[in-house]
């Protein structure tokens, strides 16, 4: 008969708590000082689409735009390799498209075509930002209600704390490095909430099961057993997901780069939080078997004897 190896996860809970608090302080400080570098989806700006006859060099296009004074221009393919989308955080100018077209046409032997010159208003971006933030808060609230109903209030507090921990650290990562924060990154953060919640629910379910099965064990011992039993599933899921995300970040192009990076950070920190943050919160809240084990019936309430 084989016995499972039990790891002393909770023996490092104070170190893990210090690590999480440090990351959260850095994230909150950076968000307060630097803020987020919002993309055009939130701030407004100009969208210019240029058609090439042959596949162009994107780095060459960026160099030309920077030399012309458009240093914040984002250049990416759109639909096909010969369709180039240029995003700029500049005020609306009906002649901007023609000016950019002339800049790119210089030195080119092929004929370029201006296909689109549009402007995304800042008011639209502000509404999107507010709705996105409300969507995240609503998601966290619904998670708290579900976990409280499905498990117990202490599990609900632990799960929501872990999710808030993950979201703040991902936002802090984008704030510290000043990476563009657009709607694709917001979508990735919502996906991180779902991924982290799934991991936390699996761990919580095993903790609840072991509290009912290991009635004479201490809470820390039960936590270690539960986390050790789910470790293999957690690592396999996380590693396979990370492999896909690395491929997307490296080969997916600029359009989904922010999405892939946000998910990479989120999956990594979400795996960590499902092991340490949620379980740490349960220990701090004093989880015990009385919270999870149904009360035993008195002897007199057992099955009545037949006359």
Kindly tell me if the per-residue pLDDT of 303 is higher than 60. Answer: no
Contact 132, 167 (CB under 8 A): no
Average pLDDT rounded to a whole number, residues 170-191: 88
- Residue-level pLDDT at 296: 55
Kindly tell me if the per-residue pLDDT of 300 is higher than 50. Answer: no
Kindly tell me if the per-residue pLDDT of 179 is higher than 60. Answer: yes
Of 83-92, 155-164, 218-227, where does mean pLDDT reach its minimum?
83-92
Kindly tell me if the per-residue pLDDT of 307 is higher than 60. Answer: no
The more confident residue out of 224 and 215 is: 224
Q: What percent of the chain has pLDDT over 90?
A: 14
- Residue-level pLDDT at 22: 95
Residue 92 and residue 197: Cα distance in Å, rounded? 42
- Residue-level pLDDT at 294: 56
Strand partners, 113: 51
Average pLDDT rounded to a whole number, residues 59-86: 82
- Residue-level pLDDT at 30: 94
The closest alpha carbon to 105, from 60, 75, 141, 137, belongs to: 60
- Report angle CA 246, 248, 252 to the nearest 5 degrees: 140
Average pLDDT rounded to a whole number, residues 165-178: 92
Of 34-43, 109-118, 155-164, where does mean pLDDT reach its minimum?
34-43
Kindly tell me if the per-residue pLDDT of 45 is higher than 50. Answer: yes
Residue 41 and residue 10: Cα distance in Å, rounded? 43
Q: Please give the C-alpha separations between residue 184 and each of 94, 109, 121, 292, in angstroms, as whole numbers.
A: 27, 35, 18, 40
- Residue-level pLDDT at 251: 83
Kindly tell me if the per-residue pLDDT of 9 is higher than 70. Answer: yes
The more confident residue out of 175 and 136 is: 175
Residue 175: pLDDT band with limits 50, 70, 90: very high
pLDDT mean across residues, the chain: 81
Contact 252, 260 (CB under 8 A): yes
Average pLDDT rounded to a whole number, residues 170-180: 91
Average pLDDT rounded to a whole number, residues 81-86: 85
Residue 291 and residue 297: Cα distance in Å, rounded? 16
- Pick from 51-55, 60-64, 88-92, 172-176 the range whose average pLDDT is largest: 172-176
Kindly tell me if the per-residue pLDDT of 273 is higher than 90. Answer: no
The closest alpha carbon to 133, from 38, 53, 12, 220, belongs to: 38
Kindly tell me if the per-residue pLDDT of 194 is higher than 50. Answer: yes
pLDDT in tens, 104-118: 888 788 888 888 888
Rounded to the nearest 10°, the torsion over CA 28, 30, 32, 34 is -160
Kindly tell me if the per-residue pLDDT of 306 is higher than 50. Answer: no
Residue 206: half-sphere exposure toward Cβ, Cα within 13 Å: 21
pLDDT in tens, 17-33: 999 999 999 999 999 99
- Residue-level pLDDT at 176: 93
Q: Please give the C-alpha separations between residue 171 and each of 33, 43, 185, 190, 223, in angstroms, as whole numbers.
A: 13, 17, 10, 12, 29
Where does 223-280 show beta strands of DSSP type E?
A: none
- Residue-level pLDDT at 2: 40
């Amino acid at each position: 008969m084989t016995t499972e190896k039990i790891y002393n996860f909770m023996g490092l809970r104070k170190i893990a708590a210090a690590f999480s608090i440090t990351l959260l302080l850095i994230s909150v400080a950076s968000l307060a000082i630097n803020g987020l570098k919002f993309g055009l989806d939130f701030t407004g700006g100009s969208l210019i689409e240029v058609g090439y006859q042959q596949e162009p060099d994107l780095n060459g296009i960026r160099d030309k735009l920077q030399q012309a004074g458009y240093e914040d221009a984002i250049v990416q393919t759109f639909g096909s390799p010969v369709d180039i989308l240029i995003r700029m955080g500049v005020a609306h100018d009906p002649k901007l498209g023609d000016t950019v077209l002339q800049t790119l046409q210089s030195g080119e032997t092929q004929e370029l075509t201006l296909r689109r010159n549009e402007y995304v208003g800042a008011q639209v971006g502000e509404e999107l930002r507010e709705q996105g933030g409300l969507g995240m808060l609503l998601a966290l609230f619904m998670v708290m209600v579900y976990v409280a109903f499905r498990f117990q209030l202490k599990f609900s507090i632990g799960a929501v704390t872990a999710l808030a921990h993950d979201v703040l650290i991902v936002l802090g990562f984008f704030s510290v490095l000043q990476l563009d924060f657009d709607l694709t990154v917001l979508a990735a953060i919502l996906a991180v909430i779902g991924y982290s919640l799934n991991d936390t629910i699996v761990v919580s379910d095993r903790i609840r099961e072991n509290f009912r099965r290991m009635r004479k064990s201490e809470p820390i011992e039960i936590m270690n057993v539960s986390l050790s039993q789910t470790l293999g599933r957690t690592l396999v899921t996380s590693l396979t997901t990370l492999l896909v995300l690395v491929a997307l970040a490296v080969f997916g192009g600029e359009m989904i780069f922010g999405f892939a990076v946000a998910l990479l950070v989120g999956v990594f920190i979400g795996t960590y939080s499902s092991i340490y943050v949620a379980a740490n919160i349960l220990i701090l809240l004093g989880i015990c078997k009385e919270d999870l084990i149904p009360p035993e019936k008195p002897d007199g309430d057992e099955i009545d004897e037949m006359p």
